[in-house]
Structure 1
Amino acid sequence: MQAMKTLHDWLAHCDSLHPKTIELGLDRVRAVATRMGLAFTCPVITVAGTNGKGSTCAMLEAIALQAGYRTGVYTSPHLVHFEERCRIHGEIVGADALVPFFERVEAAREGVTLTYFEFTTLAILCLMASSKLDVAILEVGLGGRLDAVNIIDSDCAVITSIDLDHMEFLGNDRETIGREKAGIMRTGRPVVVSDPVPTQSIIDYGTEIGADVWLMGRDFNFSGDKQQWSWAGRGRRYAGLAYPALRGANQLINASGVLAALEALRSKIPVTAQAVRNGLAMVELPGRFQIVPGQPTLVLDVAHNPHSIAALAANLDAMGFFPTTHAVFGAMADKDLAPMLKKLGPIIDRWYFTDLPTARAAKAADLYATWRQQETRTDVDASTHTSPMQALDAAVAAADPADRIAVFGSFYTVGGVLGDGVPRLHAKHLAS
């Protein structure tokens, strides 16, 4: 304990406690939380799903802030710095502010072996619970039913799109995975399902436990043209809305679920139409189809499964013509890599595969081999690199000013560029 004085010290300690990176289950983490007296006195919104969780949390936060509420947000993983996982009233918490709450978890642990995620989740939840919040927004890390975040009973659950990911833990099909996500529902409380094609398992479980299920197309819907969009739910409508500041066609689906959740909680955290408009216009979230202006254009996206890769492909296609599209790509080894690479094949003209600083990652050479097996174009080349920054440097060196560079895949890939590469790319822009 005496040796652990900084956040870095505590994160190293958390990393050494458990032999597994992931061990789903609530018994251990709930026992520690009980000893800590962990409880929230404000409304809680829990967000689960395969894709769209981070965007949903960011939009909920932005609107609530505009409505004058003191917000707390927990998301994972982070892009560059661990502290990004927690925001209080719109600001990332400081490393020093987290340390006392790691100490509280350690004091309550009493020999219980927690994973890195469980230990850090407890510390952040404890910080949030002590921050006099008006609303807490919690993103599920993996699954839902057995995720550490699910020790907290939420006032409203949101389930975003469901796709095949983390299948070794959650199941091999959408129905099984959907049932795991549905575990964040609570009897008698609203659950907003923003997936336009929800699994039957989610609907059935909500009915079974008596949750108040909100389905897109039945309880709320949206429509729009190129200039604006509208939303309608149970007893409330918004017309003439500007598109969310987060880019991508899929963000309307996420925003529609956000408005449904806020409508479901209107008696506890009412928001005005102006707060909705301002929040959606001002929301920011790095690494979600983030376009960095300059020459060449840089696109950053944490798309790392077939569903999010399909959305990235559609969004890249909608950007218009670029002479050459360069792709910096790194991903975890357990991802369904071949269909992801195939989906982007028609769009990408030059690949830069990269190693990542984690044992779970696929080697750049293995990504190259998988790509080579299914690439049908003869005019495309690829190279391998030891880090995202090295891969980006190679792409910048090869790109013409009118080209674009897409950096995507794991959070480690995008984070490896955001931590250092964007300022350097800006420097190149200024020099050109």
Structure 2
Amino acid sequence: MPESLEDPKVLPDTVEGWLALLESRHAQTIQLGLDRVAKVRAALGPDPAAVVIAVGGTNGKGSTCAMLESILLAEGYRVGCYTSPHLLRYNERVRVDGRDVDDAALIEAFVSVEHARGQTALTYFEHGTLAAWEVFRAQRPDVIILEVGLGGRLDAVNVFDADCAIVTGVAMDHMEYLGDTREAIGFEKAGIFRAGKPAVYGDPQPPASLVEHAASIGATLWISGRDFGFGGDQQQWGYWRYEAAPAKGALTRRGGLAYPALRGANQLLNAAAVMTALDTLRECIPVSMQSVREGLMLVEVPGRFQVLPGRPAVVLDVAHNPQAAGVLSENLGGMGFHPETSAVLGMFGDKDVEGVVARMRDRVDRWYLADLPGPRGLTAEDLAVRVRAAEAKGDIHCFKSPSEAFIAARKSVEEGDRIAVFGSFLTVADVLATIRSERH
């Protein structure tokens, strides 16, 4: 039963208090389904008159949302952006005009959702998603960007109808919830598509289930490599797109583009998908090529192949599944010569640890493994068993936290070496917090 709402003293007056309350209420962290969220959403009131863009996919969602946000801000639009999870502060999940929402606005939104829910139980993520929507209802941005938390069809974000939906790609992750084949996962991801609306798929190899679902509901599906794409050299890149999907109409080309500020070869896949989505929405939110160029040059996303200044080189990446680890390995290979690479790794037990390590083992000379908290977190010792099972080479060292593992790795490496921190958001967040505390 929810707490009594007659006495406001029972409700927290800090963001931290609210997060603790939401975590304590619902034993099941993930509970897919839209009925409860839709009921509370209806009680909140009318939606803001904004263009809504939903972004799903296994990897690349955060980078795609950041590019959309940066380009639209450069054009002068008011932009609301909801992403998850966060690295250091919950407020990072809800941004308006490029800034994290302040505590007062977030608390007010939590309270509004609390009153609207009545006897309806909500998970931590569901309550937070509706609170983000409440912030946007109050701030009334021109465009709202929503990152899907898990899957798509039954994710809380899918209670809101998108004017355009992007699925960045489909790989094997969260299989206990989404299915154990790429086709099953593809169907779940395609659930954010809407009838008569543009849908963008950012990888050249879509699952048949995703393509079939788009066709069955009458969504206009744009597929990378078929309907749009990119090419480039070391200095610049170019974008191309057919006027209509699938691969119909005049061919539009835009060249002389600077590479996105985000590092990694896969970012052009994301950038091309972003440009396609914006093109499909040009009648309601037109964007100039100058804003595209400016937005791509200024975009930032902490923890996505983030290379920190200084020596030894430190790379932070939230890669936690084999596909993302493969991209990280490829990006590390393009960094230039470093005599040795040390890995700081902490992971959850429900992830494909062996698959992640297999993609990275040829890049890593020493492993610094860390405990992660909570029932899903692996201990460093358990992680070591899985790292060895994946036939990783090099010494393995175990620590009680990612920060302890990072400090030990930093002490052992030479100035020209490299440290790669990856495996989960928690791993990167703990190390990033340590680095920032040392600097300040």
Normalised to the residue count of structure 1, the TM-score between the two structures is: 0.96
Q: Is the 8 A contact 2:342 2:365 kept in 1?
A: yes
1:212 maps to 2:215: no
Match of 2:359 in 1: 343
Of 361, 365, 388, which aligns to 2:402? 388
Of 71, 74, 93, which aligns to 1:63? 71
Alignment of structure 1 residues 251-266 onto 2, 5 Å:
251-266=267-282
Distance 2:136 2:400 in 1: 38
Distance 1:61 1:385 in 2: 38
Q: Is the 8 A contact 2:86 2:92 kept in 1?
A: yes
**What RMSD, in angstroms, separates the aligned Cα atoms of the two structures?**
1.2
Match of 1:430 in 2: none
Match of 2:100 in 1: 92
Q: Which runs of 4+ in 1 moved over 3 A?
A: none
Distance 1:90 1:38 in 2: 24
1:327 maps to 2:343: yes
User: How far did residue 326 of structure 1 move?
Assistant: 0.7
Gaps of 5+ in 1: 428-432
Q: Is the 8 A contact 1:7 1:99 kept in 2?
A: yes
Alignment of structure 1 residues 182-201 onto 2, 5 Å:
182-201=190-209
CA shift digits 1:190-221 (9 cap, x unpaired) = 00111221111111000000001111122211
Q: Is the 8 A contact 2:320 2:347 kept in 1?
A: yes
User: How far did residue 357 of structure 1 move?
Assistant: 2.6
User: How far did residue 66 of structure 1 move?
Assistant: 0.5
Secondary structure in structure 2 of the residue aligned to 1:356 = coil
1:362 maps to 2:378: yes
Q: Is the 8 A contact 1:392 1:421 kept in 2?
A: no
- Structure 1 stretch displaced more, 33-42 or 388-397: 33-42
Paired residue type of 1:266:
R
User: How far did residue 373 of structure 1 move?
Assistant: 2.4
Match of 1:228 in 2: 236
1:145 maps to 2:153: yes
Q: Is the 8 A contact 2:357 2:387 kept in 1?
A: yes
Secondary structure in structure 2 of the residue aligned to 1:328 = strand
1:304 maps to 2:312: no
Of 205, 210, 218, which aligns to 1:202? 210
CA shift digits 1:337-365 (9 cap, x unpaired) = 11211221111011111112332112111
Q: Is the 8 A contact 1:38 1:126 kept in 2?
A: no
Distance 1:82 1:376, change over 3 A: closer
Of 107, 114, 132, which aligns to 2:140? 132
User: How far did residue 376 of structure 1 move?
Assistant: 5.6
Q: Is the 8 A contact 2:48 2:140 kept in 1?
A: no
Match of 2:249 in 1: none
Q: Is the 8 A contact 2:66 2:301 kept in 1?
A: yes
Distance 1:355 1:6, change over 3 A: same
Q: Is the 8 A contact 2:358 2:392 kept in 1?
A: no
User: How far did residue 420 of structure 1 move?
Assistant: 2.3
Distance 2:117 2:177 in 1: 25
Match of 2:118 in 1: 110
Distance 1:339 1:141 in 2: 22
Distance 2:397 2:340 in 1: 16
Normalised to the residue count of structure 2, the TM-score between the two structures is: 0.94
Secondary structure in structure 1 of the residue aligned to 2:345 = strand
CA shift digits 1:26-84 (9 cap, x unpaired) = 00111111111252311000000000000000000000011110101000000111000
Secondary structure in structure 2 of the residue aligned to 1:233 = strand
Distance 1:130 1:202 in 2: 35
User: How far did residue 423 of structure 1 move?
Assistant: 5.1
Match of 2:62 in 1: 54
Paired residue type of 2:406:
L
Match of 1:2 in 2: 9
Q: Is the 8 A contact 1:158 1:192 kept in 2?
A: yes
> How many residues were matched structurally?
424
Match of 2:334 in 1: 318
Paired residue type of 1:115:
T
Match of 1:160 in 2: 168
Of 411, 421, 424, which aligns to 2:435? 421
User: How far did residue 422 of structure 1 move?
Assistant: 4.3
- Structure 1 stretch displaced more, 232-241 or 270-279: 232-241
Secondary structure in structure 2 of the residue aligned to 1:168 = helix
User: How far did residue 129 of structure 1 move?
Assistant: 2.1
Identity %: 51
Match of 2:286 in 1: 270
Gaps of 5+ in 2: 1-7, 244-251
Secondary structure in structure 2 of the residue aligned to 1:126 = helix
Match of 2:3 in 1: none
Secondary structure in structure 2 of the residue aligned to 1:406 = strand
Secondary structure in structure 2 of the residue aligned to 1:334 = coil
Q: Is the 8 A contact 1:26 1:146 kept in 2?
A: yes
User: How far did residue 13 of structure 1 move?
Assistant: 1.2
1:400 maps to 2:414: yes
Distance 1:152 1:256 in 2: 24
User: How far did residue 238 of structure 1 move?
Assistant: 1.6
Of 306, 310, 319, which aligns to 1:294? 310
Distance 1:422 1:343 in 2: 29
